[in-house]
Structure 1
Amino acid sequence: MKKLEEVFKRSGVPTYTFVEPVEYRSLLVSIRTPGRGTIVEGPSGIGKTTCVLQIINSLDGGDSILKLSGRNPDDYDLIAALPEMGDVGIVLIDDFHRLPDSIKFGIADFIKLLADTENAKSKVIIVGINKAGQSLISYAIDLTGRIDTIPFESNPEGKVEELIEKGQIALNISINIKTEIIRESQGSFHLAQMLCHETCVDAGILEESQERQILTSSIEVIRERVLSDLAKTFFEKAKLFATGPRLRREGRAPYFFLLHWLASGKEWSLNVRETVRQKPEHRGSVGQIVDKGFLSDHISKNTSLQDVIHYDPDTTELSVEDPKFVFYLRNLLWTKFCEKIGYKSVEFDSRYDYALSFAGADREIAGLLFEYLSARELSVFYDKNEQHRILAENVEDYLAPIYKSEASFVIILLGREYPKRIWTKFESDQFKERFGENAVIPIWFSDAPPGMFDGTTKFGGITLDVSLLKNHEIERIGDVLCRKIVEYKESNKTLVATA
């Protein structure tokens, strides 16, 4: 009988849920080509090392592989000695970007020699982030043509879905929040495994089910449980990086902004110099800690930061090494985090463009509006899972802040049931003060018109005519909301920090 930890594995090579990434075939051909160097580069947690090991095992080389790591100083002497060891078989050097420059030079020359002699008894495979291939070529310019660089990008959603499907078959279950997990995973197999694992724990699925089980979990609850656990490890690391060597309340929080940019970007890394060029208002603060070596020193002097963040001072590439840290950062309530680490206030573009507040009777309208706005690439908070479960969990941590500050605007769907429900009362208590900030947009249903004492009529809103086709009304209202957010974003182009 298959156990949960064997199916949705949080570490190690997957047993039942291995999925061939898009790059699988190119990597297979490169690895089996005699003597030719192979470089696999890309973000952490997307399956680079797992894929390499799977291919080597398929080629009957799993028993002879020598696995070394740039993360382990105890391996440095052996890596440096590889060129003098004769036929070394298959050698996998993981975390290549962490090796000292002197060792990188030696490996570059060794790979060139193996390629020139087409040595069938030695093979060096390098795995790393931060453009490891480009970094290696910089040490030996004539490596071009002698190595294959296989760039791993974030996995497409279809591949993540394939992983989850394999796990569902193995455990004989159906995960009701599969779509949400795919979205939350952001292309990372590792994050998908972690979220599926926690979902099964939440549902009491600890091993293969005798009869097919349909789970009834809430993605909000799963996310918060995972984040609560991750916070124990990552809050202090995030705080240490964000405050820099010393918290300067009078300053412009350059380390804080770097962390925020890293969390909000599409990639798991950013080029600091390029980012500063795009944000010239931060040139004096962020540019200074780069040019004077303060950023490099801050990371090199704190081993706890090196576990999650890598910085290359030559390329100014700043990258996250642990996918769980990415997940933690991207779900962080930044206004609250700001206060916790010692800054009085830092203003951001909001986590969400819109947050929907509605009664359960109007869920269909809320869902249609969510789909329309999401299709227009807006960020919308929509509680489409069991709201009572969210309220029973830690509401303050993930629901109240969204309505208070984490959404640029709150949309309230004022149907007949809205004033009668406990949870809408709770939500409205969180955002009622934002009416004065011009941040609440009422949508009045035509079959529940506002009365003369309804305070929402003091503010601009939209009437939804329930007698017309829902899709037409959603398109009309959605178009107005899209134009509103465009205007808002154009007038809020910069991030401002005060301490």
Structure 2
Amino acid sequence: MAKLTVEDVFKINGVPTHTFVKPSEFSRLKVALRTPGRGVVVEGPSGIGKSTAVTKVLDELEISADVVKLSARIPAEVEYIELLPELGDFGTVVVDDFHRLEDATKARLADLLKVTADQEDPKRKLVIIGINDAGKALIRSSPDLSNRIDVVKFEIEPDAKISELVAAGERAFNVKISASEHVVEKARGSFYLAQLLCMDACVSAGVTEKPDDEVTVTTSFSAIQRRVVERQKDRFGEAVRAFARGTKFRPGGRAPYLHILKWLSESDSWGISIPDEMRKHPTEKASVGVVLEAGYLENLTNKENISKILHFDPDTRVLAIENPMLIFYLRNVSWPEFVREVGFTKVDYAETYDFALSFAGEDRSYAEHLRNALEDNGHTVFYDYAEQHRFLGQDIEAYMGPIYASDSRCVVVVLGEMYGKKRWTLFETSQYKTRIDAGEVVPIWSTNVAPSPFDEMHGRGFLNFDPIGDLLQQATSHAEVLSRMIADRVSGSSVAS
């Protein structure tokens, strides 16, 4: 008789047998799955045990053999999923990886769930499995669906459940794992991660088949962690670095995507709401807001190599882990070393904005092109119209004054014909004038204005723009110069520090 192997016990593929532990939501899921006609949505982070729990419940209900299981990751099965509304009495169908379906398909499934629930059809039952907020995606497609489906949320499991899994594996495999407490802690509520860490501990100790007598596996957790992280670096490293660098990598840039990755690594739920995280991290709020609102984050996560590990929902604005091992890698990687590998020269900034634009309304067209070009280059820019909603009802001078005085790395002054003749340009000048001697104010002179020998800006390096020329082309060119200037200054300050 063949001996039990470590991969049979601590399973990282398929449904576990010896180490299956009923998740916290198991009973609720069981009731939902046996209710005729009513749709069920099972949502939660990857690797939390959703699919396994559904399979185990169906086994207990003795209906597994009659259930059709489909995955949105398999093109041929996606075609079948799209046909479900036309198939009549299809029995019980489980659709996994729902979040990967096209919006139109999600909407058709939402309509199907509604009709099936209204009819309490015992011959049709649809079970949806997806990552965080799969239920919200369905309800967006059909708002009146909310009372017609059961949404079962799988959260991070308590340590007691993870300990139960480890203990069951130890009994089945006849071992005692010295690092079991660390495994429970570092698994952070994931059955999958606990399985993998236990398996690695045994393999590292050379215990790959069940011993006749109990063996103590003495592999240190730090050794397990190093090996697992190194393997995941080979597996995810290229895609993670590509995400951290973003669409337009600049060593001296604000690194918004790097900050998003760090927020994700610190999350307990393996998925984050970007707007919620922005509120928690005001220093990075502006730079992350740019890539969120401009659609850069969505475009980046749609790239083939990145979409395999991260999923971004542009409606809920939730970024979620697609592969459970990625979260372990992000939580245990050396972040200072990772930042160096990615190539950023500086990540933490004292100032909220890279550039604050000061201009008269007559030059707004040029200023707006400049703002867009600078943001395309990965910079945070203070531009009055973009901030209007923030200072409504507030003292505008109290709000804007600090931005020009100190909360921007550089003030860019568009010196057109009306500059200095308008109230707000005079106010902004009063705030940034002490920064001129430090070289923190860059003038961009209109070709229609001759610098006065008595002007404080006279004699300082400047750029020119022609108000009747191609404003977009000029702004794009000027943004490149300003970006290089900031990069040089960041690089210099990093060397100095």
With the length of structure 1 as denominator, give the TM-score of the two structures: 0.68
The aligned runs of 1:180-195 (5 Å cut-off) are: 180-195=182-197
Q: Is contact 1:339–1:345 with CA below 8 Å preserved after alignment?
A: no
- Residue-by-residue CA offset, 1:179-225 (whole Å, 9 max, x unaligned): 10000100000000000000010111111110011121100001111
The aligned runs of 1:344-493 (5 Å cut-off) are: 344-347=345-348
Is 1:126 equivalent to 2:128 in the alignment? yes
Q: Distance in 1 between matches of 2:318 and 2:90?
A: 32
Once the two structures are TM-superposed, the CA of residue 347 in structure 1 deviates from its matched residue by 4.6
Q: Is contact 1:37–1:146 with CA below 8 Å preserved after alignment?
A: yes
Is 1:109 equivalent to 2:104 in the alignment? no
- Residue-by-residue CA offset, 1:320-357 (whole Å, 9 max, x unaligned): 11110000000011111111111124359xxxxxxxxx
Structure 1: gaps (5+ residues): 349-496
Q: Is contact 1:252–1:498 with CA below 8 Å preserved after alignment?
A: no
The aligned runs of 1:127-142 (5 Å cut-off) are: 127-142=129-144
The residue aligned with 2:81 is 79
Letter in 1 for 2:251: R
The residue aligned with 1:322 is 323
Q: Is contact 1:269–1:320 with CA below 8 Å preserved after alignment?
A: yes
Q: Distance in 2 between matches of 1:107 and 1:28?
A: 22
The residue aligned with 1:337 is 338
Q: Do the aligned partners of residues 136 and 340 (structure 1) sit closer, same or farther apart at CA in structure 2, a change above 3 Å counting?
A: same
Q: Distance in 2 between matches of 1:280 and 1:146?
A: 39
Q: Is contact 2:346–2:490 with CA below 8 Å preserved after alignment?
A: yes
Is 1:95 equivalent to 2:109 in the alignment? no
Match of 2:151, SS? strand
Letter in 1 for 2:237: F
Match of 1:295, SS? helix
Q: Distance in 2 between matches of 1:238 and 1:8?
A: 27
The residue aligned with 1:282 is 284
- Residue-by-residue CA offset, 1:115-147 (whole Å, 9 max, x unaligned): 111111221110111211122111112212211
Q: Distance in 1 between matches of 2:105 and 2:46?
A: 22
Is 1:312 equivalent to 2:289 in the alignment? no
Letter in 2 for 1:310: H
Q: Is contact 2:252–2:345 with CA below 8 Å preserved after alignment?
A: no
The residue aligned with 2:40 is 38
Structure 2: gaps (5+ residues): 350-488, 492-497
With the length of structure 2 as denominator, give the TM-score of the two structures: 0.69
Q: Distance in 2 between matches of 1:161 and 1:265?
A: 21
Is 1:57 equivalent to 2:56 in the alignment? no
Q: Distance in 1 between matches of 2:346 and 2:71?
A: 41
Once the two structures are TM-superposed, the CA of residue 70 in structure 1 deviates from its matched residue by 2.1
The residue aligned with 1:3 is 5
- Segments of 4+ in structure 1 off by > 6 A? none
Q: Distance in 2 between matches of 1:180 and 1:277?
A: 32
The CA RMSD over aligned residues, in Å, is: 1.5
Q: Do the aligned partners of residues 498 and 253 (structure 1) sit closer, same or farther apart at CA in structure 2, a change above 3 Å counting?
A: farther
Letter in 2 for 1:215: V
Match of 2:112, SS? helix
Q: Is contact 2:70–2:96 with CA below 8 Å preserved after alignment?
A: yes
- Residue-by-residue CA offset, 1:148-199 (whole Å, 9 max, x unaligned): 1111100111111111111111111111111100001000000000000000
Q: Is contact 2:71–2:77 with CA below 8 Å preserved after alignment?
A: yes
Q: Is contact 2:156–2:268 with CA below 8 Å preserved after alignment?
A: no
The residue aligned with 2:457 is none
Q: Is contact 1:346–1:498 with CA below 8 Å preserved after alignment?
A: no
Q: Is contact 1:335–1:346 with CA below 8 Å preserved after alignment?
A: no
Q: Distance in 2 between matches of 1:226 and 1:278?
A: 31
- Residue-by-residue CA offset, 1:39-81 (whole Å, 9 max, x unaligned): 1111110101100011112222222221112223332221111
Match of 2:94, SS? strand
Q: Do the aligned partners of residues 250 and 215 (structure 1) sit closer, same or farther apart at CA in structure 2, a change above 3 Å counting?
A: closer
The residue aligned with 1:169 is 171
Q: Percent identity?
A: 41
Q: Is contact 2:43–2:132 with CA below 8 Å preserved after alignment?
A: yes
Once the two structures are TM-superposed, the CA of residue 498 in structure 1 deviates from its matched residue by 5.5
Highest CA radius of gyration, 1 or 2? 2
